Structure 1
Amino acid sequence: MKNTKASSELWWIIMTAVIVLVVVILVLLWFQGSGEKAFGGINTQLDDADNDKVTNLFDQCPNTPAIIKGDDSTEVDAAGCSQAQRDLQKKESTT
Structure 2
Amino acid sequence: MNVLWFVGLLGSFLLYKNFFPTVVKCISPDLIEIDEETLIVDLRDYHIAAKFPIKEAFVLPFAYLKRYHKQLMGKKLHIVAPDTSS
Higher relative contact order (CA 8 A, sep 6+): 2
Larger gyration radius, structure 1 or structure 2: 1
Q: TM-score range by the shorter chain?
A: 0.3 to 0.5
Is the helix fraction higher in 1 or 2? 1
Is the strand fraction higher in 1 or 2? 2
TM-score normalised to the size of structure 1?
0.30
TM-score normalised to the size of structure 2?
0.32
